[in-house]
Amino acid sequence: MTEIPEWPMPDGREFLLPQRAYLLSYRTQGAYARREAIVDSRRHFDAVESPDPNYETQLALLGLAGDAMQAIEDLGNLAAASMEGLEGLASYVKATAYHPSHVNNFYARLHKRNLDYFLELCGFKLAGHTMFDFFEFRPLMTAQERTAIEAAERATAKLIREHLTRLAHDWNHWRRVFHGYKHGALVANPDEVAIVDDTETRIPGMVIWARRRNGVEIGPGVTGTLAPVADQLQTEGELAVEVLEYLVDLRLRSFELIKFNQEGEAFPDPEKLIDSPWRFWMRSADIDDKYVTLLRGRGVELDSVQV
């Protein structure tokens, strides 16, 4: 292990083990529960969907929106905590101390973030340091292999930025509908409230009541048939689960390089430093083929390389 005095191993009991437990809880329970909830909500929507949405159809779509947006909120909450935790505490503490501004601020600021931000979010870098600054892998990485690792890290960070930017748009568009779901299914009954066009002709859709108002006030709405909206919500919710699973897996992989004694103290595990801890997710257009060949030869995982 390379000696870095200003970066000692964090306390195992206060930081590493609770953080690992939090991440494992999502991988073993949270991701499965979120994915199944989205599928179940979509199944219910399909069972009651009609061309001219009645109240039951609208409530079913609201349920699907709630489960899909919950996955996007989970992602924003964990990512925000990972990048801006509470001073002196492990990042899981902020992730479990819920505040809606954490998620809103995370997504609202994404367009201002450079690629280094996403490299750190993935765990490829820590305050400018790379994994090579903390661990020495056997056999030693060649200069070309390290260049290939850096190229794969950048390609992965680029795809994660793309996915998160897309989900940020969805969060901004749907979060008020999501809040309508979480605060009592605040859907306007179509028998009492109609959406009309400029000629006052009724059109299909769904309306959410605005929250935190002194009087009754219409909030966000959806017009047109609801099945295409359900398709979009399901796709975005499942993408959020996939991205969060990936980020959780990346962070858990760093724990695989560490061993703990009975007192909870942490040490680099020399037996694990012969294995590649990396797993990359990228578009094939964003990395040179020679780097892909080189990394696969070293045993590095290249997941879901896309055209």
- Decide if pLDDT at 295 tops 50: yes
Measured CA to CA in angstroms, residue 75 lies from 55, 69, 71, 121, 155 at distances of 30, 10, 6, 12, 20
Q: Residue 97 corresponds to which amino acid?
A: A
- Decide if pLDDT at 137 tops 60: yes
Residue 272: its pLDDT value, please? 62
- Decide if pLDDT at 2 tops 60: no
Higher pLDDT, 219 or 43: 43
Residue 1: its pLDDT value, please? 43
Range of weakest confidence among 43-47, 110-114, 118-122, 127-131: 127-131
Give the total residue count for the chain.
307
Q: 44 with 63: CB under 8 angstroms?
A: yes
Residue 82: its pLDDT value, please? 87
- Decide if pLDDT at 216 tops 80: no
Range of weakest confidence among 110-119, 170-179, 181-190, 233-242: 181-190
Residue 270: its pLDDT value, please? 66
- Enter the pTM of the model: 0.86
Cα of 33 vs its chain's centroid, Å: 15
Q: What is the mean pLDDT of residues 94-100?
A: 77
Report how far residue 239's alpha carbon sits from residue 247's, in angstroms, rounded to the nearest whole number: 12
Domain ranges of the chain: 12-184+227-275
| Percent residues over pLDDT 70 in the chain | 88
- Model confidence at 3, pLDDT cuts 50, 70, 90, reads very low
| Percent residues over pLDDT 90 in the chain | 43
Kindly report, residue by residue over 170-206, the tens digit of the pLDDT.
Answer: 999 998 888 878 776 678 777 777 777 788 787 777 7
Residue 43: its pLDDT value, please? 98
Q: What is the mean pLDDT of residues 3-11?
A: 54
Look up residue 214 and give its two tokens: 């002194």
- Decide if pLDDT at 142 tops 70: yes
Residue 221: its pLDDT value, please? 76
Q: What is the mean pLDDT of residues 67-82?
A: 94
- Decide if pLDDT at 131 tops 90: no
